Structure 1
Amino acid sequence: MAHGSRYKVAFKRRREGKTDYGARLKLIGLDKHRLVIRVTGNHTITQIVDIELSGDQTLISAHSKELKNMGWLGSGKNISAAYLTGYLCGKKAIKEKIEGAVLDMGLQSSTKGSRVYATLKGALDAGLEIPHKDVILPDEDRIKGEHIVQYAKSLDKAEMDKKFSQYLKKGLSPLEIPDHFQSIKEKIEKEVS
């Protein structure tokens, strides 16, 4: 740690690597709703947040755990679940008359086609207006899980049982993921709209 009379200790959240205050200040200056996306090891969390003097106010929230209550049998951490979480949050926001927001991805790195951008695509498809460039969004086939189907077809029965044991334990064949994804998306459309 530095010494001297001119040294200023950084804020605790900055020292812990939790907050980039420069980026946060820019978002505050926009005076718009923020679409906050946080991706953990096992889940995706999406919120519509307003900034107030008393602190951030969460208006809408969606968590990938909510998908399980709707019948989602897949993982809560894959691109499909991230998209559906963003779609769910977007539908809830439209229902509450929120039409647009700006993306707040925190300290997460910006990687083309990542779960953060899959969540963003879900919110966009739900009807939210969020400034973005289309090149960062993942492909539609990847969101639906078509790449998993192709991989599963290349495996023999024993390998497939080993690699996809968690899916099979829940009663979901990897070959059925795109259809299951579409059914959950339609269920969100019916329940939230």
Structure 2
Amino acid sequence: MKSKTYTVPFRRKREGRTHYRKRKSLLESGLPRLVVRRFLKNIQAQIVAFAPDGDRVLAAVHSAELGKFGWKAGRGNIPSAYLVGLLVGKKALAKNIKEAVLDIGMHPSVKGSRIYAVLKGVTEAGVHVPHDAGILPPKERLEGKHVALYASSLPKETLKSRFSGYAKSGVNPSEMEQHVDACKKKIMSKP
């Protein structure tokens, strides 16, 4: 009898969607997972609990929901990711979820990225997620100061072309800080 020389991996591993060793270690913690998925123009965060017949989503937020709180800027940047984290943290606390573990899936771990902006928002909302503070983005980036600083350094013609999407939605990029703060206050005042 000939021995097997090749084993076909699980379908989700073949598709590059699940890292089973990492998933197993997250599930062994016994805590719900804070699942963060980033896309080019959006970001999504969910609190997910394991169940034998399939994971259960306990709380979920997509960056499109930020429009309900007056967010008019882009939905795929660091400030919007931070606000998504605040919102999913508030929803988790409403369902009495006080602790979670971060699951970034197959995304690379990059210091100061949008994934960690969501993490910062969740922890500020009051959910405990174990992490090292050195990996979080600086406060200036969470508040959008870097966008305002960049916009103020551009000449008028270039500003109009680079921030045309902001102009269409009625947001002045040099006032990004105030826009983030206003949305944050609305999210935090939500019951």
TM-score (norm. length: structure 1): 0.96
Q: Which residue type is aligned with residue 82 of structure 1?
A: A
Q: What is the percentage of aligned positions where both structures have the same residue?
A: 42
Tell me the residue number matched to 1:186. Answer: 185
Deviation at 1:104?
0.4
Tell me the residue number matched to 1:121. Answer: 120
Deviation at 1:27?
0.9
Tell me the residue number matched to 2:55. Answer: 56
Deviation at 1:44?
0.8
* Alignment RMSD: 0.9
- Secondary structure of the 1:93 match is helix
Q: Residues of 2 paired with 1:17 and 1:126: CA distance?
A: 32
Tell me the residue number matched to 2:24. Answer: 25
**CA-to-aligned-CA distance 1:97-141 (integer Å, 9 cap, x gap):** 110100001010000000000000000110110000000000000
Gap runs ≥5 in structure 2: none
Tell me the residue number matched to 1:169. Answer: 168
Q: Residues of 2 paired with 1:28 and 1:114: CA distance?
A: 24
Q: Residues of 1 paired with 2:130 and 2:4: CA distance?
A: 44
TM-score (norm. length: structure 2): 0.97
Q: Residues of 2 paired with 1:189 and 1:151: CA distance?
A: 28
Q: Which residue type is aligned with residue 154 of structure 1?
A: S
Gap runs ≥5 in structure 1: none
Q: Residues of 2 paired with 1:83 and 1:144: CA distance?
A: 9
**CA-to-aligned-CA distance 1:64-122 (integer Å, 9 cap, x gap):** 00001221001110000100001100011111111010000101000000000000000
Tell me the residue number matched to 1:146. Answer: 145
Tell me the residue number matched to 1:65. Answer: 64
Q: Which residue type is aligned with residue 140 of structure 1?
A: K
- Secondary structure of the 2:50 match is strand
Tell me the residue number matched to 2:157. Answer: 158
Q: Residues of 1 paired with 2:159 and 2:96: CA distance?
A: 45
Q: Which residue type is aligned with residue 10 of structure 1?
A: P
Deviation at 1:7?
1.7
Q: Residues of 1 paired with 2:34 and 2:184: CA distance?
A: 20
Q: Residues of 2 paired with 1:48 and 1:133: CA distance?
A: 20
Q: Which residue type is aligned with residue 37 of structure 1?
A: V
- Any runs of at least 4 consecutive aligned residues in structure 1 with deviations exceeding 4 A, and if so which? none
Tell me the residue number matched to 1:14. Answer: 13
